[in-house]
């Protein structure tokens, strides 16, 4: 999911991809449809930025599954019912042809008539029902949250599935999101896997059988290799197969190794943070493409947050959190930590994008109810509203005797852009008069700490990014205490355990509303959020860093040629059909 390396293993990535490229070039050449002879390299797409260590397993149920089988990933092997398109917020057909809302709480989904699994068996309604029922039975499966908003999933006939939405928590947006993010599994195989593996989540699934355009060919500590399924059922729908015959994902030790391979043309397209990427075409004259040719270069899709543990003394004070929001230099984070890939963050959970503009309240966000980098305002809140005074060590103590620190602000080691943002935040907080320090543990340490509430402050993802449920899901992830476990137990949203009695009713109203009727409750939720922010946006981030170099392959879509969204997930797979070898 992340473009950041975990660094659990140290792999000589640049050497590995160099060897892979050399090996690809040495293999036999063959022709394309035009009759031209293509080398193996011209038929192999090298992609990077998703897998940062040897894959533990290929089980979509596992929290450690490899790329393409873990969560909302590129649909090479497994596919979802629909594919979300970031450009117009539409649902594109995938394993399903259409969705019919027969009434306010019923979705009828028609499956592709010719869809098949890699073993030749047809994709049928039983597969969809099994996939969702599996997550109902096993609560630790990541798409089990779909059942917060579902009453039932039933077969109407072999090619039709009926989704009944929960009458108590009707939420069309979240249900559509789950239809776009849940990989459908072949029930004729997985029922057998379950019977033979009591702990099905630990099943390796090292020969995954999906319905997608590629099959897993091989994998090791250096790379993952996928080979195109020339019998892919989708050829009949799209009229052609994806262009690359093979897709290779090298495993690098860190961003620097991946960036070097990219500059050398050893990687064709990647998803990772690359500082000052514009210099690649302006100064180095490399044929590099991003979605935009000028700042912010990428299309915003997510909102990483400074997550605050509202159960900690001092941090449990909403006015104090507003003071913290005024103390952060957002423009500096956008310019330096984010390398101009973001505009300065605002006092809102709404993305400043066309897709969410109807929810944007300029007067409230930019006015007195909002915040901006203003140290004097932060000091005013502390001293005049909270009665804070500085001690001899320069650290504030609130009027009730609570000292502002010691607190730690953390984010995972190796996530260099986020580490830079945290360093700026901590510098700002120290200048204000807080006792704070940074900590950069490994990612596999940060994740459980944040989910369990065992932290002070952390720069971390919230679950909601741009999908059919946004912006509603962002408010759920930041403000909703329902479904959040106590400190010490894992929760997958509202990591700060914020609670406000007005939130639930507004969220439920917004969830059921459609079109313009959703605007009023969302704006009211944004007002509550600004009054005592439990999380503070530090940047706007693309769903994926979409960066291509056209030395071997050409035709990657961009803002001037928007034939596919700049993502690797959902409808982003369409660009595999648009590119061609040079």
User: pLDDT tens digit string along 156-179?
Assistant: 999 999 999 999 889 999 999 999
In degrees, to the nearest 5, what angle opens at C-alpha 282 toward C-alphas 280 and 284? 50
Q: Which of 5-14, 190-199, 386-395, 483-492 has the lowest mean pLDDT?
A: 5-14
- Strand, helix or coil at 100? strand
Who contacts 395 (Cβ-Cβ below 8 Å, separation ≥6)? 403, 404, 405, 433, 434, 435
117-137: average pLDDT: 98
In degrees, to the nearest 5, what angle opens at C-alpha 502 toward C-alphas 498 and 507? 85
pLDDT of residue 490: 85
- Looking at domain 13-54+220-297+544-581, which CATH architecture does it have? 3-Layer(aba) Sandwich (3.40)
pLDDT of residue 160: 98
* Domain 300-542 CATH (choose: 1.10.3720.10, 3.40.228.10, 3.30.70.141, 3.10.105.10): 3.10.105.10
The CA–CA distances, whole Å, from 191 to 134, 378, 391 equal: 10, 58, 65
**How many residues can be counted in the chain?**
582
Give this prediction's pTM: 0.84
Task: Using DSSP bridges, classify how beta strands 269-270 and 44-48 pair: parallel, antiparallel or unpaired.
Answer: parallel
Query: Can you say how many angstroms the Cα of residue 178 is from the centroid of all Cα atoms in its chain?
Result: 14
Burial (CB count <10 Å: 0-12, 13-18, 19+), residue 112: buried
Report d(CA 242, CA 580) in Å as an integer.
Answer: 9
pLDDT at 197 over 60: yes
Q: What confidence category does residue 463 fall into, taking pLDDT thresholds of 50, 70 and 90?
A: low
pLDDT at 154 over 50: yes
Q: Could you tell me which CATH number the domain at 82-191 has?
A: 3.90.76.10
Q: What confidence category does residue 88 fall into, taking pLDDT thresholds of 50, 70 and 90?
A: confident
- Considering only CA atoms, give the Rg of the chain: 24
C-beta of residue 355 within 8 angstroms of C-beta of residue 466: yes
pLDDT of residue 467: 87
90-117: average pLDDT: 97
**Would the CATH topology of 13-54+220-297+544-581 be identical to that of 300-542?**
no
Taking only the tens place, the pLDDT of each residue in 234-289 is: 999 999 999 999 999 999 988 889 999 999 999 999 999 898 999 999 999 999 99
pLDDT of residue 35: 56
350-358: average pLDDT: 87
325-335: average pLDDT: 97
518-535: average pLDDT: 97
What residue spans define the domains of the chain? Answer: 13-54+220-297+544-581, 82-191, 300-542
544-561: average pLDDT: 97
């Amino acid at each position: 999911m992340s473009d950041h390396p975990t660094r659990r293993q140290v792999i000589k990535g640049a050497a590995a991809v160099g060897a892979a490229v050399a090996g690809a070039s040495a293999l036999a050449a063959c022709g394309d449809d035009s009759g031209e002879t293509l080398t193996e390299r011209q038929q192999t797409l090298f992609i990077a930025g998703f897998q940062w260590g040897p894959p533990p397993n290929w089980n979509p149920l596992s929290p450690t599954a490899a790329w393409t089988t873990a969560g909302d990933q590129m649909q090479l092997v497994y596919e979802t019912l629909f594919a979300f398109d970031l450009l117009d917020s539409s649902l594109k057909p995938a394993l399903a042809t259409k969705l019919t809302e027969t009434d306010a709480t019923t979705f009828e989904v028609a499956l592709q008539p010719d869809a098949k699994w890699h073993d030749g068996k047809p994709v049928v309604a039983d597969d969809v029902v099994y996939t969702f029922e599996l997550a109902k039975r096993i609560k630790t499966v990541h798409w089990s949250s779909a059942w917060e908003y579902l009453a039932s999933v039933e077969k109407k006939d072999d090619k039709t599935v009926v989704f009944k939405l929960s009458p108590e928590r009707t939420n069309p947006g979240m249900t559509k999101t789950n239809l776009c993010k849940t990989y459908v599994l072949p029930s004729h195989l997985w029922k057998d896997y379950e019977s033979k593996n009591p702990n099905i989540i630990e099943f390796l699934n090292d020969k995954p059988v999906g319905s997608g355009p590629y099959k897993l060919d091989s994998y090791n500590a250096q790379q993952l290799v996928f080979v195109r399924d020339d019998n892919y059922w989708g050829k009949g729908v799209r009229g052609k197969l994806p262009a690359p015959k093979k897709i290779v994902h090298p495993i690098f030790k860190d961003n620097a190794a991946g960036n070097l391979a990219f500059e050398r043309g050893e990687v064709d397209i990647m998803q990772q943070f690359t500082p000052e990427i514009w210099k690649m075409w302006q100064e180095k004259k490399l044929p590099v493409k991003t979605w935009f040719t000028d700042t912010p270069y990428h299309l915003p899709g997510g909102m990483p947050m400074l997550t605050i543990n509202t159960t900690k003394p001092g941090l449990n004070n909403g006015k104090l959190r507003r003071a913290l929001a005024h103390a952060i230099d957002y423009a500096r984070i956008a310019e330096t930590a984010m390398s101009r890939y973001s505009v300065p963050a605002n006092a809102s959970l709404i993305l400043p994008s066309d897709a969410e503009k109807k929810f944007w309240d300029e007067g409230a966000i930019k006015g007195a109810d909002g915040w901006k980098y203003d140290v004097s305002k932060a000091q005013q809140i502390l001293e005049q509203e909270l009665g804070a005074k500085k001690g001899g060590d320069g650290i504030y103590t609130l009027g009730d005797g609570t000292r502002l620190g010691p607190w730690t602000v953390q984010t995972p080691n190796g996530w260099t852009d986020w580490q830079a943002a945290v360093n700026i935040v901590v510098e700002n907080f120290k200048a204000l008069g807080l006792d704070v320090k940074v900590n950069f543990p490994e990612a596999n340490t940060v994740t459980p700490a944040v989910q369990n509430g065992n932290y002070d402050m952390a720069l971390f993802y919230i679950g909601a990014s741009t999908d059919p449920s946004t912006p509603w899901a962002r408010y759920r992830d930041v403000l909703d205490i329902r479904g959040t476990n106590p400190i010490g137990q894992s929760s997958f949203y509202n990591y700060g355990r914020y609670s406000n009695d007005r939130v639930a009713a507004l969220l439920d109203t917004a969830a059921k509303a459609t079109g313009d009727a959703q605007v009023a409750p969302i704006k009211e939720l944004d007002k509550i959020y600004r009054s005592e922010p439990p999380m503070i946006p530090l940047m706007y981030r693309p769903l994926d860093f979409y960066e291509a170099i056209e030395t071997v392959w050409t035709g990657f879509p961009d803002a001037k040629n928007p034939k596919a969204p700049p993502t690797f997930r959902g409808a982003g797979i369409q660009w595999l059909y648009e590119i061609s070898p040079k």
